[in-house]
Structures are given as C-alpha cells and as structure tokens.
Amino acid sequence: MKNHQRRRLRSVVALILCSGAAGCATVKPWDRDLLAKPEMQFVTCAQLHAIDEHVYFSKEASLGGSSLAGGGCGCN
Amino acid sequence: MQLDAPERPRAVRAKLRTATCLLLTAVAPRFAHAADPPAPPVPASPPTSQIDLTGLFYSERIRVLEPTMRYTRTYSSGRSFFGQVSVDSVTGASPNGTLPTGRTQTVTSASGRSRSVSANSIPTVNFSDTRIALDGEWQQPVKMFAFSLGGHFSHEKDYQSEGVTGRVAIDLNHKLTTLSLGGGYNNDVVSPVGGTSVGMAPYGELTGAASNPKHVKTALVGVSQVLSRKWLVGVSASLSSEDGYLTDPYKALSIIDATTGIPLAQVSEQRPDTRQRRSVQGDSVYHFTSNILYLSYRRYWDDWGIGSHTIDARYRLPVTSAAFVEPHVRFYTQTAADFYRFGLVQGAPLPQYATSDYRMAGLQSVTLGATIGFAPGGRRRTSEWTVRAEYVGQFGDSSPPGTVGVQTRIDLFPAVNVFSMVVNYRFNR
C-alpha cells in the first residue's frame, strides 16, 4: 500500500472513530421525534436517488459513495 | 422537557408520566424488568403496500424518457420487499471521440447511420436504444440487525447486466449508532453493435468477438451516528474492483498532423481491463426549527488516475404541513484519466491505452435544481406528488495542452447542458 493510500485509510478510520466517540451523546427515546421523521434520512426518496446516481454515472467518471451501485448500464 | 415542573397541574403531570412510561415500554422493551408481568399481546397491524410511479424526462444531445414503477410491501415486523421495473428509452447524438477537421464532414456510426457534422463541431453519431431493468430487494430485521438482499437485471441491445447486493446494518448504542456492511457483484456482458473493435488499431478493425465479459465487485462499510435530537451524520467508504471489457466500443481517437492539426486517420480507443475505485463519503442531516439541511461530500479516486470531489447540498423548506420546497445545488470536479488524450499525433508511437472520451477528461459539473413535494390528502398522506426540475452544466478545457493548427481555433470541450424533470407519484393501499 502506497503512503498516500495509507494516509487516506487512516483518515477514514479516524473519521469513523470520531463518529463513534460522538455516540456518547445521549438522545433519549422520547426526544427522537424529529429524528423519526421520514425526511430525516440521508436519502429521502429512493427513486430520485437512483435516477441521480444513473445520470451522474452516465456523465462523469466517478462512482460510489453511500450506495452499492455497480453501474448495470452500458451508458458509461 | 420539564416533566416534573412544580407549577404543572397534578392531572397533567400524571398523564405525562403515563405517556412517558408507555413510550419507554414501546421503544425499549429489552429494558423491561424480568419480573414485570407480560404485556398483553398487541394485534399485528396488516401489511401496507406502496406504489411509486416515476417518470424521467432528460434532454441534452440525447433525450431520455424513463418510466419506472416500484411496488413496496411492508409488514408490521419491519420486514419489507420492493420490486421495480423501468424502461429507459434513449435517442440522440453522442460524441464519437474524434476531432473536428475545420471542414464539414460525414460521420458514420457503428450501426451504419451517417450524419453531417459542421466544420467546427465535435463529431457525433446518432443512436437509439431501449433498456429494460428489473430490480428487487428484500429486507429483514432480526433484533439489532437488519439484513437486506437485492437483485438486478437489465438488458439493452449491446449491454446486459445481472447483479446481486447484500447488506447488514447493526444498531448499537441504543440505536444512536448504526454500522453498515455491504457487498455487491455484477456480471455484465458488452456486445457492441457492429462488432468489437481492436484497440489502438484503425477504426473498423474487429476482433471477431461478439460479446465481452465485464465483472464488478463492490464492498461498502459505513457508520451513521445521531449527534443530537436534530442532527444525524454518517461516513462510508466503498471499494470497487472491475475487470473485463472496460473500453467504450464506439469511441475512437483522431490522429492529427503535427503541424496543421488536421485529422488524418482514426484508431479505436483502448482502456485497461482492470479498474480499482475507492470513495469516502460524509453525510449530514440537520433539522432546524422547521427546515432541514442535507449536506454530503464525496472524495473519489481510482487507479486510472481519476480523482474527484463532490459537494451536494439540499435545503427542505416546509410550505404547509403537507407540502415542501427543496432547492438543490451540487458541485463536482474531476481530474483526467492518465491515458486521456484529446487526439494522437501522427508519427508518434501509439500508447498502450488511450481514450478521448470527454467523460475521462478533467471536467467540472454544476447542478442547480429544486424539488416540490405535496400530499393532496393533507396530513393523512395517502398519496404524494414529487416534482423535480434540474439543470446540469459540464465544463472542461476547450483548448487542452498540445493542441496545434486548426484545433487551436475550435472549442474542443463545448459545454454540455442537461435539463431534466422527474415526476413521482406515490400512493398507499
């Protein structure tokens, strides 16, 4: 593994650990009214998200992120 | 929340205490004391069905019409299933990778269609295709785990894809932290119309292979974390490994005169037959008093030399209790693949790999748009409409280093302007 790849990997691990450490913050079940809203998600509409992924996949060279998109299309 | 404020009337306090106990019992049954009498059985609510009808209208050099129907069944246990069918109809013109000659020229596609291209325009070829795709996913929660298994099949005349995905989400820390692990595999076949070109050989020279395999393996790990009553964040990393036929069968490169820049010949492009992609993405959702801000940032890089940054922001503003407006902005920038060439110079040795596909060039994209959502049934939300309109602009280097002669006077990366509209109608049964 090259040095710059190792540094990136360390950054990812650090980010994940920071997220975990922040979990010490407590939000009681009765305080989760806002979090329980359907719009309080990273992806609020699966259909629109899938269309976005498809359009950007066809126009750009990047792929990935938070979804397991394998392409599945001859457009790029 | 001040449940025991002394000035509250006793009756209200008692009701709040009862409600709190009920809520705690409902959301955290595992904390109930072992000696407590068993709760009376709660009748299971019937499963619900949801149908989404979606239409995409997309316009640039090509036009796309894509109707989609998705059926989702959700059971009271949390188990759910969805099945989706979509039909993707594409017509229009696509750049074939060659350069303008400074004179009107005729370009012929792999299927034999010819079109005239004006003197200073990027040569494009006409094409049309229809793609049918089937997708499905099954989700099953088991205690602190949520398993999902998905399948994909799509077919178009020159490309077929079959894929499976699997994912497990683990709730930790009283459901404030969720860890996700996933993987996917795609088994694709590329069957170019007119045959498979020999890479870096004169355009039209064929290998004789009617179809070519392509495989994609993907792994994903992510964690999401509730930071406060109003704030949810997440970070995920993905690794994708591709092998097989990764070349665009319809793209060619011009071989230009070293002095005049006039194209003299064409060779088919050739890309490596493996690719390792990596990405890291951070997401945030923050609920203000009534508005919600969505932010995400993705860093991507691969062993073809392409690196990209993507920033995406949406801001949801409720208009009424059953309607919202959501502006959207996205910025994207990528570096060029190591083997990207706008053209090749006559007399120079041919490289092992080369492509002039503008999507492999350094480029920037800007997306501006807005979504409107409303539920005609008011708070009952038996149906919902979502309408989104967006513009995507792509910009690159119109005169890349190394251009000579006639090519210096021509815009080699004309802006790509995409307009799209999506309409989604969702109803419950």
Taking contacts as CB-CB distances below 8 angstroms, the residues of chain A near B233 are 19, 22
Q: Which residue has the tokens 């795609």?
A: B186
Inter-chain residue contact A64 with B337, CB threshold 8 Å: no
pLDDT tops 50 at residue B31: no
Percent of chain B with pLDDT over 90: 77
pLDDT tops 80 at residue B43: no
Top-confidence residue, B98 or B181: B181
- The pLDDT tens digits for B130-181 are 999 999 999 999 999 999 999 999 999 999 999 999 999 999 999 999 999 9
Taking contacts as CB-CB distances below 8 angstroms, the residues of chain B near A42 are 224, 232, 234, 283, 285, 294, 296
d(CA B356, CA B415): 16
**Inter-residue contact B413 to B398 (CB < 8 Å):** yes
Global confidence as pTM: 0.86
Interface check for A1 against chain B (CB to CB < 8 A): the answer is: no
Taking contacts as CB-CB distances below 8 angstroms, the residues of chain A near B364 are none
pLDDT tops 70 at residue B236: yes
In a domain, B82, yes or no: yes
Mean pLDDT over A29-46 rounds to: 93
d(CA B422, CA A45): 12
| Average pLDDT, rounded, for chain B | 88
pLDDT, residue B7, reads 41
> How many domains does chain B fold into?
1
In a domain, B38, yes or no: no
**Inter-residue contact A41 to A49 (CB < 8 Å):** no
- DSSP 8-state symbol, B246: -
pLDDT, residue A20, reads 52
B 98-127 residues with CB < 8 A to A = none
pLDDT, residue A13, reads 54
pLDDT, residue B119, reads 76
| Burial call B155-188: b when 16+ CB within 10 Å, e when fewer | ebebbbbebebebebeeeebebbbbbebbbebeb
A interface mutation test: which of B20, B275, B300, B324 has the most A CBs within 10 A? B300
Least confident of A39-53, B15-29, B83-97, B326-340: B15-29
| Average pLDDT, rounded, for chain A | 77
pLDDT tops 80 at residue B25: no
pLDDT tops 80 at residue B264: yes
pLDDT band at B8 (very low <50, low <70, confident <90, very high): very low
Residue A51: closest C-alpha in chain B = B56
In a domain, B41, yes or no: no
pLDDT tops 50 at residue B415: yes
Inter-chain residue contact A27 with B283, CB threshold 8 Å: no
Interface check for B375 against chain A (CB to CB < 8 A): the answer is: no
Half-sphere exposure of B402 (CA within 13 A, CB side): 11
Half-sphere exposure of B11 (CA within 13 A, CB side): 0
Inter-chain residue contact A23 with B176, CB threshold 8 Å: yes
pLDDT band at B4 (very low <50, low <70, confident <90, very high): very low
List chain A domain ranges: 3-59
In a domain, B39, yes or no: no
In a domain, B262, yes or no: yes
Taking contacts as CB-CB distances below 8 angstroms, the residues of chain B near A48 are 371, 386, 388, 422, 424
Inter-chain residue contact B156 with A74, CB threshold 8 Å: yes
Give the contacts of B203 (CB within 8 A, at least 6 positions apart): B197, B252, B266, B267, B268
Taking contacts as CB-CB distances below 8 angstroms, the residues of chain B near A34 are 229-230, 287
pLDDT, residue B18, reads 43
Residue B247: closest C-alpha in chain A = A76
Mean pLDDT over A28-41 rounds to: 93
Token digits of residue B105: 């020229």
In terms of residues, how long is chain B?
429
Interface check for B185 against chain A (CB to CB < 8 A): the answer is: yes
Query: What CATH number has the domain bearing residue B405?
Result: 2.40.160.40
Mean pLDDT over B96-114 rounds to: 76
In a domain, B1, yes or no: no
Mean pLDDT over B387-407 rounds to: 94
In a domain, B42, yes or no: no
pLDDT tops 60 at residue A29: yes
pLDDT, residue B352, reads 97
pLDDT, residue B104, reads 78
CA distance A65 to chain B (A): 5
Mean pLDDT over A4-16 rounds to: 59
pLDDT band at A19 (very low <50, low <70, confident <90, very high): low
pLDDT band at B182 (very low <50, low <70, confident <90, very high): very high
pLDDT, residue A73, reads 83
pLDDT band at B105 (very low <50, low <70, confident <90, very high): confident
Top-confidence residue, B164 or B17: B164
d(CA B186, CA B219): 12
Inter-chain residue contact B52 with A47, CB threshold 8 Å: yes
Nearest CA to B158 among B195, B119, B207, B106?
A: B195
pLDDT, residue B2, reads 36
In a domain, B2, yes or no: no
pLDDT tops 60 at residue B34: no
Domain containing B282 equals: 7-32+47-428
